[in-house]
Amino acid sequence: MAAPRSITRILKSLPNPCSHHHHRRRRASLLPAVVLDKRYSSNQQSRQPPHPHPPSKRPPPPPPPPPPHLLLAAADARPKLSEHHKITFDEKKTLVPWEEGKTSHFQHVWMRDHCQCSECFHPETKQRVLDTFSIPKNIQPDMVEAEEKGMKIKWKNDGHESLYPWEWLHLHSYNPRLERYISPQFKFWGSEIAEGPPEVGYDAVMESDSGVGEWTRKIHKYGFCYVNGVPATPGATKEVVERIAHIKHTHYGGLWDFTSDLSRKDTAYTTLALGVHTDTTYFSDPAGLQLFHLLSHTDGSGGQSILVDGFRAAKILREENPAAYRVLSNVRIPSHSSGNHDSSIQPYAPFPVFNHHPVNGELIFVRWNNDDRATMDRWDDPADVERFYEATRAWNDVLKRRESEYWEQLVPGRPLILDNWRVLHGRAAFDGKRRLCGAYISRDDFMSRFVLSNSKREDVLKAL
């Protein structure tokens, strides 16, 4: 391998908002840019390896405490190159020394593949245009230069010039990663949330994107939020929910609007009490958000809603009964929706109750509806049957503790929206006639709106 050679003069005038080396620049906005954690590999083995249903005889150890959450702070907007070390390259990679004392290693094939110019990366569609497979195997720079805007590389094979903005390089440095994690944005809650549940105003949500930003931020943080002052009609409800995203159509339709008449063959359409559950456990991709709006309740009473913070409950179970947590993280539960004659919906594979990020092991979503559980008839070890029932009993006990339960009566004009990947819902039995409408939004559509209503689009794009 050729000895590294120095190739640049580092410009002293690189953008640097502060002359003090130790002072780290704060982003101008109050909030850090919302950037999703898109890690796709890890030095460690996946902490939640794929697991068949039922569990193997030697279940893996319980997942570690959750690492920092899926939101990352973007790297410094104006990263600063070292003034004392120079950019160098050898036949495999370019080394970029930062003032903070770390040096990024960028392999040439990766750099060429990520050229940011408009010939290689479409400026409007934000898609790659470059034919990755036309890059010569032994691609080499002819010249690397630090410029004010970024690092310029002139490539040896065809003279193509690439310019990588400093901020982009710092943000996407992979060896090492330089991002800083921000602390979890979740606020766990129990019954005490009744004293001050998260809410936003109808006008704010309808009139401005910043109103939607506040709304999606609260939904993300607490797992639910009310909107106050919405006209108690299906039309107004549809308009308000569509401020987040288009409605996810299912076998129940788009915006559902029902009375307790069992028109759909599901317990939800009766007057019976419903234990806490998440919806659509029988989908491969369960609904991300669910909105409920009580339009009227006449000639009767009851029907209070109950919410339980599933992430908080999972944390409690893991601390009190790691064995139960492990079982519910590993046993895959088949589920279905087959009450209507024209559908029998099942996910492509059964899923456990606790679903974790495949790389970082963090709890991503809770999938729990005991009523929709299909027959579990595939066990390697009959002892797993008892372990499973013990685990679900322990889980059910945590969910049903008084301090887990947040009860509230829905009222017309105040729809409730909840994060169906986190918060479980149910209701008390009622009598009389209730008319309720609501809708689902997919998780991906919600996260897109959440990210874009709380960050500048350019910051989101930079992190792609």
Chain positions contacting Zn ion, by CB under 5 A: 115, 117, 119-120
Residue 452, binding choice from Fe ion, Zn ion, none, Cβ under 5 to 8 Å by partner class: none
Residue 279, binding choice from Fe ion, Zn ion, none, Cβ under 5 to 8 Å by partner class: Fe ion
Minimum distance, C-beta of residue 447 to Fe ion, in the bound complex (Å) = 21
Contact between 384 and Fe ion per CB under 5 A: no
Nearest CB to Fe ion, comparing residues 214 and 279: 279
Minimum distance, C-beta of residue 369 to Fe ion, in the bound complex (Å) = 8
Minimum distance, C-beta of residue 329 to Fe ion, in the bound complex (Å) = 23
Residue 87, binding choice from Zn ion, Fe ion, none, Cβ under 5 to 8 Å by partner class: none
Minimum distance, C-beta of residue 424 to Fe ion, in the bound complex (Å) = 9
Minimum distance, C-beta of residue 323 to Fe ion, in the bound complex (Å) = 29
Show contacts with Fe ion in window 158-177 (CB under 5 A).
Answer: none
Nearest CB to Zn ion, comparing residues 123 and 382: 123
Residue 320, binding choice from Zn ion, Fe ion, none, Cβ under 5 to 8 Å by partner class: none
Residue 232, binding choice from Fe ion, Zn ion, none, Cβ under 5 to 8 Å by partner class: none
CB atoms within 10 A of CB 73: 17
Nearest CB to Fe ion, comparing residues 145 and 372: 372
Residue 117, binding choice from Fe ion, Zn ion, none, Cβ under 5 to 8 Å by partner class: Zn ion
Pick from 76, 167, 279, 419 the residue near Fe ion by CB under 5 A: 279
Nearest CB to Zn ion, comparing residues 119 and 158: 119
Minimum distance, C-beta of residue 129 to Zn ion, in the bound complex (Å) = 9
Residue 273, binding choice from Fe ion, Zn ion, none, Cβ under 5 to 8 Å by partner class: none
Say which residue the tokens 């009993």 belong to: 393
> Do 213 and 424 meet the contact criterion of CB atoms below 8 Å apart?
no
Residue 163, binding choice from Zn ion, Fe ion, none, Cβ under 5 to 8 Å by partner class: none
Nearest CB to Fe ion, comparing residues 76 and 279: 279
SS3 letters across the chain: CCCCEECCCCCCCCCCCCCCCCCCCCCCCCCCCCEECCCCCCCCCCCCCCCCCCCCCCCCCCCCCCCCCCEEECCCCCCCECCCCCCEECCCEEEEEECCCCEEEEEHHHHHHCCCCCCCECCCCCCECCCHHHCCCCCCEEEEEECCCEEEEEECCCCCEEEEEHHHHHHHCECCECCEECCCCCCCCCHHHHHCCCEEEHHHHHHCHHHHHHHHHHHHHHCEEEEECCCCCHHHHHHHHCCCCCCCCECCECCEEEECCCCCCCHHHCCCCEEEECCCCCCCCCCCEEEEEEEEEECCCECCEEEEEHHHHHHHHHHHCHHHHHHHHHCCECECECCCCCCCECCCCCECCEEECCCCCCEEEECCCHHHECCCCCCCCCHHHHHHHHHHHHHHHHHCCHHHEEEECCCCCCCEEEECCCEEEEECCECCEEEEEEEEECHHHHHHHHHHHHCCHHHHHHCC
Q: Which stretch binds Fe ion (CB under 5 A): 17-25, 154-162, 273-281, 379-387?
A: 273-281
Q: Which stretch binds Fe ion (CB under 5 A): 204-212, 274-282, 294-302, 408-416?
A: 274-282
Nearest CB to Zn ion, comparing residues 115 and 287: 115
Nearest CB to Fe ion, comparing residues 46 and 409: 409
Nearest CB to Zn ion, comparing residues 142 and 199: 142
Say which residue the tokens 């120095």 belong to: 6
Helix, strand, or coil (residue 462): helix
Residue 410, binding choice from Zn ion, Fe ion, none, Cβ under 5 to 8 Å by partner class: none
Minimum distance, C-beta of residue 165 to Zn ion, in the bound complex (Å) = 13
Nearest CB to Zn ion, comparing residues 115 and 139: 115
| Opening angle at CA 277, ends 274 and 280, nearest 5 | 110
Minimum distance, C-beta of residue 125 to Fe ion, in the bound complex (Å) = 38
Tokens of 394: 């322990």
Minimum distance, C-beta of residue 122 to Zn ion, in the bound complex (Å) = 11
Interaction site with Fe ion (CB under 5 A):
279
